[in-house]
Structures are given as C-alpha cells and as structure tokens.
Amino acid sequence: MGYRVAVVGATGAVGREILKTLEERKFPVDEIVALASPRSAGREVSFGDKVLKVQNLETFDFTGWDVGLFSPGGSVSAKYAPIAAAAGCVVIDNTSHFRMEPGVPLVVPEVNPNALKGMKRNIIANPNCSTIQMVVALKPLHDLFTLKRVVVATYQAVAGAGKAGMDELFAQTRGSFVNDPPAIEQFQKQIAFNCIPQIDRFMDDGATKEEWKMTVETRKILDPDISVIATCVRVPVFIGHSEAVVAEFEEPVDLERAREALREADGVILRDERVDGGYVTPTECVGEDATYVSRLRLDPTVPNGLAFWCVSDNLRKGAALNAVQIAETMVALDLLPKH
Ligand code: A2P
C-alpha cells in the first residue's frame, strides 16, 4: 500500500520536476493529483507514462490525502498549506513562507533528518535552493572542524524565478540577436549577458531577502552559532546554481581530512582536479542529484579557513528532489501516516 499524494503548483518548473522525481525514485504512490490555479484546470501534465488532468487548488478537498508537495509561490502556500494541513495532509512546502516558523521543521535529509520529529503543525519547509546545496557541502566539514563563519557569493540560475524567469532569459537572448529590444519583467535589470546583484527584495540592513534567507536558514538547519554573510547574484544560466564559499572554522583545518569527509558525505560528489577544467560547472549538473564540490583549497588569510566552489541543479536538489527526499525520510522514520 502506497500514499495518496497531491502535487500543488504542478504546472510550474518545480512542480513538474516533483512529478518526475516521484516517478523516477519510485515513491510509493497509490494515487496522485496535480493541482494548480483555476487557469490551468483541465490542462494535462505527465507522471511517468500516465497523463494527469490538472485540478483547481481553490476547490480541492485535501481530506484523505496523505502528503502534499507544494510549490505554488509564497502567498498561495500561505493560504492553502494550512488548509491542507488541517485536513490531515502533511505539507512539504517549497516556498519561503513557513521556513522560520517554530514547529515547522526546515529539513535537508542529509543534514538534519531528525528535525522532522519536531513537526507540530503538519507542515515541513523545504529550504531555499542556495541554502540547501551550501549546507550539504558544509555539514561534513562542520562535523570535523566546527564552522564559525561563512562568506558566500552565489551565481544563481534563472530557473529559481520559475518558468517565467527562464522564458525571459530566452526571449532577451534571442531578442538581442534579432534586434528586438528585450522586455524586462521578471528581473530588476536585463538578465541576458548580465549579472544582477539582487534576488528578492531589500531588507533594512541593505541585504536582500535571499541573502538573509541563507543566513537564518543555515543557522536553523546546521547550527545557530554560525555567522553567514551572502551576496546573491542572478546570472544568465538557465538551470544550476553555483556558489563560491569561504568558511572559517574553530579548529585547525586539514585539507586531506576535509577531502576525505567530502568524498564520503551523503549527497556530495567531490570533483576537484587542479588541472584545466578539473571542476564542475552548472551545465554539467543539470538533471543530477548531487551537490558537486570543486576548487577545494586552504584560505591562508584567516587561521582556519577553507574555500571551495559548489554547484547543484537548483530545480532538483534545490527544490523537487529535496522535497521528495523529505517525504522518503518521513516514510523511513515512520512519520507519515496513511489515511
Ligand atoms: P498555473 O500554471 O495555473 O499558474 P512557476 O514557479 O514555474 O511559475 O510555477 C508556479 C506554479 O504555481 C504553477 O503551477 C502555477 O499554476 C501555480 N500557481 C500560481 N498561482 C496559483 C494559485 N493562485 N493557485 C494555485 N496554483 C497556483
């Protein structure tokens, strides 16, 4: 016997990836429903070799559904996740809306699976895509040397802004070759052939909300004593986030032990050769599950410093895969009741 699974936001970039991931990983599904806005009701999406007719979230009754994988945007999750949760459906939410709320576990299964046991409101939050890949890479290093401070610059793909973001990069790139002035709608400035040092809105201290998320989420997931300063940049890459991470530790860092720990860590692939091209770039990680770590080296400017580069498919580990792994971990820990 499997589970009754609802995928909310099933027509979007992450929702489609969730359907694909559930099928690929053979999550025990008895029944599955694809939900989106009333605009999409009646459209079709595929689930393996099956075709699902999209239903309207607004009128859907979650009673009797075991788990809901949500990626419809923050304001929609804010309204419908509590409705689903109150009907007894465990919500795994991809938006930022519930992440910092007490009683809502914020989980990366390779890093803090036991946090799932603290679920109080039938809602679990999937962290921000940039946070996920960074904590997957940092966890084995934190276990060894105890992290103190992280300085990170991100190079984030447009898929993080949904299908509309990908369409805009395509249209602007194409438009610039056919002399059609690019329209700017999804991003603050032209994204084609450019880099934009703003993701999400500005906060009072001058950081953007994306940067704030990396700080507070890393603390909630990994350790409340870690300081993080992030600069988050949108780049003209369709899929796959990159990060340049500089980490400072309490204890002396041994490069060989760090390499060994990264080689053995769940969810990490260390691909680090000090030769031309001996590192992983975002186009190479598309469709892959791992967080790839490259360019590992000591940072000689601080007592116990390490620097590295990491890339991951932001639609998979950064969103859909992590959400499905949360569901799998709940099954393994016997935390997902069937109706
Ligand atoms: P729809 O296609 O009907 O607009 P993306 O992040 O790629 O833009 O995807 C967003 C997903 O969230 C889509 O599946 C979208 O459905 C869904 N969505 C957006 N607004 C709503 C809403 N008000 N109710 C339900 N689903 C929504």
Q: Whose CA is nearest to atom 16 of ligand 1?
A: 36
Q: Which amino acid is at 55?
A: Q
Q: Is 12 annotated as a binding residue?
A: yes
pTM of the model: 0.96
pLDDT of residue 179: 84
pLDDT of residue 278: 98
Mean pLDDT of 149-171: 97
279-316 pLDDT per residue, tens: 999 999 999 999 999 999 999 999 999 999 999 999 99
pLDDT of residue 167: 96
Cα gap 213→215, rounded to integer Å: 5
pLDDT grade for 339, boundaries at 50, 70 and 90: confident
pLDDT of residue 181: 77
Specify the domain boundaries for CATH 3.40.50.720 within the chain.
Answer: 3-127+319-332
Secondary structure (3-state) at 49? coil
Question: To test ligand 1's pocket by mutation, which of 40, 77, 94 has the most ligand atoms within 8 angstroms of CB?
Answer: 40
Specify the domain boundaries for CATH 3.30.360.10 within the chain.
Answer: 130-314
Cα gap 135→210, rounded to integer Å: 15
Class of domain 130-314: alpha beta
Q: Is 37 annotated as a binding residue?
A: no
213-248 pLDDT per residue, tens: 999 999 999 999 999 999 999 999 999 999 999 999
Task: For the domain made up of 3-127+319-332, give the CATH fold.
Answer: Rossmann fold (3.40.50)
Mean pLDDT of 141-152: 98
pLDDT grade for 182, boundaries at 50, 70 and 90: confident
First and final C-alpha spacing in the chain: 11
The average confidence (pLDDT) of the chain is 97
Measured from the CB, is residue 111 less than 6 Å from ligand 1? no
Measured from the CB, is residue 158 less than 6 Å from ligand 1? no
Half-sphere exposure of 199 (CA within 13 A, CB side): 27
pLDDT of residue 1: 82
Mean pLDDT of 249-258: 98
pLDDT of 65 above 90: yes
